[in-house]
Structure 1
Amino acid sequence: MKTISKRLTLEKSKVKQASYDLPSAIKVVKSTTSAKFDESIEAHISLFIDPKYADQQLRTTCVLPNGTGKSLRIGVLCSGDKVAEAEKAGADVAGNEDLVEDIGKGILNFDLLVATPDMMPKLAKLGRVLGPKGLMPSPKAGTVSTNLTATINEFKKGKLEYRADKTGIVHISFGKASFSEEQLVENLSVFYDSVLKNKPTGVKGKYVRKFTICSTMGPGVIIDEEAI
């Protein structure tokens, strides 16, 4: 049996209710951040969806008004004449055939990959590398674009791609422990509204199964979605 540390036992003791409204949940989660680093604050939303059906899949983006607190390394796959534009806009890696070759070798020096439409055929053979890591560019996720400058700026400023995993749960980090309660509430409200607005067409009836937030090293705190 896994032993629970004294630290986690203490943090769990701070969660005194079965569920909380959103601002109260943020306050409790911030009170449980006792690690020696700036912990991420995470949201985990379990949905009544079955992603194996096309009309029950969830993959989209939203812009967190206060960012995530993480530095995002962006790779851009584009034709040679657009490489300079991508680099000027803040891309950490930009290229065409050379980048395709690196990806094929498993060299992934980026957290997000943006591609221009004309380069997508070259990525078809790299699905086995990019797919499992969730890095394959997609128009739905906003990562296939002809306006590289605008796209890169949006993601650098806090645009977030999210998707439901195969069990129907969406996992994201929406800030850091160092964020103010107001910043975290604002980010989480925007994210939750986005999840609701992008309810898959194949889902009928109740949509949200369970809504939990936590810090990297802390216990889960359940949010009462009826109180949001």
Structure 2
Amino acid sequence: MFRGKKYKESAKKVEKNTLYDTNEGLALVCEAASAKFDETVELHVKLGVDSRHADQQVRGAVVLPHGTGKTVRVLVFAKGDKAEAAREAGADYVGDMDLCEKIQKENWFDFDVVVASPDMMGVVGRLGKVLGPKGLMPSPKAGTVTPDVAKAVTEVKAGKIEYRLDKTNIIHCPIGKVSFGAEKLSENYNTLMGAIVKAKPAAAKGQYIRSCVAVSTMGPGVKMNTAKLV
């Protein structure tokens, strides 16, 4: 893979085989970020589970203390009072069949998170084939299928993120922006990693957290020391 001059210079700051403690590692991620925009900092956490087995799934949601630094657009499927409450809580789009048809007919995806009240799941279910592959399908586990849609909207806007395994047993999650600095990123990191550790399936055997890499959008990866977490 071709790497630019800036990336190569940044990569020299990181020792490939070193496991960095939280504050030091995240400070290094910020230092190595060289883009002209405010880069997003992501975690890539490899777990010692097998996502093909239902009893080894790891999925949930957590509110990061400092949010992600990103403005999140929330779509809510709800009717009546719940729809009104969702609007008051700051939802960007609220509706039912009208939104369902807009997504189906216009291939419209100008939103980042979908929240639905349980009575709307008959409508939302029709969108499974298009929302599912994009990771947008609401679910009770993530707190996005709930009778209290207003609370869900408030939490998402405050920095609630969903974490889940991909097919290679890795969780990919944003924990903020480079401009947050190491201290705020560390607090977000500890909150997310704490939630992942708590979500350890009973069926998981051996080492649970295999590796954790923090990386900014354009920067080199920094290996994090997770020994104290487990």
* TM-score range normalised by the length of the shorter chain: over 0.9
Contact kept? 2:116, 2:138, Cα under 8 Å: yes
Q: Tell me the residue number matched to 2:7.
A: 8
Residue 84 (structure 1) aligned with residue 84 (structure 2): yes
Contact kept? 1:64, 1:160, Cα under 8 Å: yes
TM-aligned CA distance change 1:224 to 1:140, over 3 Å = same
Distance in 2 of aligned mates of 1:29 and 1:170:
19
Q: Deviations for 1:160-200, whole angstroms, at most 9, x for unmatched residues?
A: 11111111000011010100211011000010011000012
Gaps of 5+ in 1: none
Q: Tell me the residue number matched to 2:162.
A: 161
Distance in 1 of aligned mates of 2:45 and 2:6:
26
Number of aligned residues = 227
Three-state SS of the structure 1 residue aligned to 2:227 is: helix
Residue 49 (structure 1) aligned with residue 49 (structure 2): yes
Q: Deviations for 1:81-109, whole angstroms, at most 9, x for unmatched residues?
A: 43222111100010011011112232122
Structure 1 residue runs of 4 or more that deviate by more than 4 Å after TM superposition: none
Contact kept? 1:102, 1:108, Cα under 8 Å: no
Identity of aligned residues (%): 46
Q: Tell me the residue number matched to 1:61.
A: 61
Contact kept? 2:38, 2:177, Cα under 8 Å: yes
Distance in 2 of aligned mates of 1:158 and 1:118:
26
Q: Compute the RMSD of aligned alpha carbons.
A: 1.2
**1:125, CA displacement in angstroms?**
2.0
**In the TM superposition, what are the counterparts of 1:139-150 in structure 2 within 5 Å?**
139-150=140-151
Contact kept? 1:21, 1:227, Cα under 8 Å: no
Q: Tell me the residue number matched to 1:104.
A: 104
TM-score, reference length from structure 1: 0.96
**Aligned residue identity for 2:8:** T
**1:60, CA displacement in angstroms?**
0.3
TM-score, reference length from structure 2: 0.95
Distance in 2 of aligned mates of 1:40 and 1:78:
32
Contact kept? 1:22, 1:227, Cα under 8 Å: no
Distance in 1 of aligned mates of 2:2 and 2:55:
42
**1:124, CA displacement in angstroms?**
1.8
Distance in 1 of aligned mates of 2:149 and 2:129:
25
**1:206, CA displacement in angstroms?**
1.0
Q: Tell me the residue number matched to 1:207.
A: 208
**Aligned residue identity for 1:167:** T
Gaps of 5+ in 2: none
**Aligned residue identity for 2:101:** E
